[in-house]
Every structure is written in structure tokens, then in C-alpha cells.
């Protein structure tokens, strides 16, 4: 591949086995626009710290499973297939992906060569599994080695299904290999907790994943219904046991800013308008 291409990219994260190498690439500069208005937008995008990223998978007689529509291009002796498993398998896949907000058909690419997925301003993280399982938030799955199994798990607790924020079903990834998740915040804004027969409680829906060995329930922050109302906290997502839990504390801030702008600026504007 052209050396000029690699002069313009950084490798943010990577994982490698004998047959599959996964890399998260970051573009240093975007200077291809001929539209002055678009160039202005790109200037502010890059000044704000946003960057274009792309997942690259190098195959050496290995395979990768991706979300449908994620392919950008591939080079080499690459085979593509999308196995539905017959009529019964198709029905199960449609139901599973309806429940977990993922595409019904997940293409599999195998052989020898390079597979590039669509460039995006999203954030990506590589999770390595060594025979265990992780349960991830809806819509986070992006791609994985074909040695992993992508399935569905249901909530074991009624309150978790009703008030957990993800409904009754979540995506479960199991086996040995590397998985790429499309996450809502940069990697350096994620707290990775390792619980040792401990409890973690979160006031909001910003837990990204947990080990399959960690139990998930929803509990009131105080005893009794009246206490929940007076405390202002309500219900807490509760993770208990031994294993990993990853949370993104900054995610709710971005959600509020996206809908209403920066709260401090809003308050200042409101105060100024009140004086006039």
C-alpha cells in the first residue's frame, strides 16, 4: 500500500492473531474538499479535535464478520458470504437483530488480503476475548473475528427489562478473538472497572458493556417509593459480581449538549435576557 497513505494515518488500536489483524486508523488531515463552505466545516471539525477513523482488517486465511453496509473496499483474494441458515435461520436472525438494533445479515469476509470498512467520525475500540463473553449496549457491535459468536441475551430481572434502558434483550459476544465496538465517546473517556465480588451502581444509561459473569438489575436508589421521589435519583442500573464493567461518564453530557447546547452558555444567555 502507498507509503503516502500511511504518512497520513495513525494506528489508534490494534489486535493480531496468526490469521487476522485488526487496526483502528485515524486520518491526520482532510484536505480533499474543493468546496469552500465544506472546507470551513472541516477546519472547525479538526480544530475541535474530531478525526476521521477507519477500521482495517488484514486477513491471512482468516475471517471477519461485519455489520451490513460497513464495507468500504477490499483487496486480495477475499471471499464474501452472508449465511442465513435457511428459512428457520433467517427468521431467528431477523428476530435477534430486531431486538438488538443490529442488521439482520452480517457479511463474512475470508481469505487473504485487506478489508477496509467505511470511514467515519465515530469512535472505535477493540475488545479481546479469551473464551469468555461480553454483553454490550444496543447497536455497539461493529465487526469481529469469525471465531467469535454474536448472539442475544435476555434480561434476567423484570425491572432490568422495563427500566434498564436497553429493553429486554442485548447483544452477547462469546468465544476467543477480537471484537470491534462503535462507541459513543473516545477510548480515553471510558472507565474500565474490574469488579471482584463487588457492586457498581450507575444513575443513567451509560454503561457500555459488562462481562457475562456480571449480573445486571435495576434498583431504587433509596428504600421506598417516596424516598426515590425525594432523593431525585430514582432508579439505578446495578452491576454485581466478578468481571468487567465499562462505563462512559461523559456520554450523558454530550447527549444534553446535542439537544440543548452547552448548559453553561444557556444559563448565561438566560440570565442576560432576564436583565433586558
Q: What is the DSSP string of 99-159?
A: HHT--S---EEEEEEEEEEPPBSSEEEEEEEEEEEEEE-TT-EEEEETTEEEEEEE-SSHH
pLDDT at site 5: 84
In the numeric block, the cell 445486571 is attached to: 216
- What ranges do the domains of the chain cover? 186-262
pLDDT at site 182: 96
pTM for the model: 0.79
Show the low-confidence residues of the chain (pLDDT under 70). 1, 83-104, 155-168, 222-233, 263-276
Which grid cell is 46?
479538526
pLDDT at site 242: 97
CATH code given to domain 186-262: 3.60.160.10
* Contact between residue 245 and residue 201 where contact means Cβ atoms under 8 Å apart: no
Nearest to 165 by CA among 187, 139, 183, 191: 139
Amino acid at each position: 500500500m502507498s507509503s503516502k497513505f500511511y504518512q497520513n494515518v495513525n494506528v489508534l488500536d490494534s489486535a493480531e492473531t496468526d490469521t487476522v489483524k485488526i487496526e483502528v486508523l485515524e486520518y491526520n488531515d482532510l484536505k480533499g474538499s474543493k468546496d469552500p463552505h465544506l472546507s470551513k466545516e472541516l477546519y472547525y471539525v479538526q480544530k475541535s479535535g474530531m478525526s476521521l477513523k477507519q477500521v482495517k482488517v488484514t486477513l491471512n486465511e482468516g475471517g471477519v464478520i461485519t455489520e451490513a453496509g460497513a464495507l468500504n473496499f477490499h483487496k486480495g483474494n477475499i471471499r464474501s458470504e452472508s449465511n442465513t441458515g435457511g428459512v428457520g435461520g433467517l427468521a431467528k436472525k431477523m428476530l435477534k437483530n430486531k431486538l438488538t438494533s443490529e442488521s439482520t445479515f452480517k457479511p463474512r469476509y475470508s481469505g487473504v488480503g485487506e478489508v477496509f470498512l467505511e470511514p467515519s467520525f465515530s469512535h472505535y475500540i477493540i475488545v479481546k476475548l479469551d473464551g469468555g463473553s461480553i454483553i454490550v449496549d444496543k447497536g455497539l457491535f461493529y465487526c469481529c473475528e469469525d471465531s467469535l459468536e454474536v448472539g442475544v441475551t435476555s434480561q434476567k430481572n423484570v425491572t432490568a427489562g422495563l427500566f434498564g434502558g436497553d429493553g429486554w434483550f442485548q447483544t452477547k459476544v462469546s468465544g476467543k478473538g477480537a471484537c470491534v465496538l462503535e462507541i459513543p465517546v473516545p477510548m480515553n473517556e471510558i472507565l474500565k472497572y474490574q469488579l471482584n465480588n463487588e457492586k457498581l451502581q450507575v444513575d443513567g444509561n451509560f454503561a457500555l458493556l459488562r462481562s457475562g459473569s456480571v449480573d445486571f438489575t435495576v434498583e431504587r436508589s433509596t428504600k421506598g417509593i417516596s424516598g426515590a421521589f425525594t432523593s431525585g435519583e430514582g432508579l439505578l442500573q446495578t452491576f454485581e459480581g466478578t468481571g468487567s464493567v465499562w462505563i462512559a461518564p461523559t456520554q450523558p453530557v454530550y447527549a444534553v449538549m446535542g439537544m440543548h447546547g452547552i448548559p453553561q452558555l444557556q444559563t448565561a444567555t438566560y440570565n442576560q435576557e432576564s436583565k433586558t
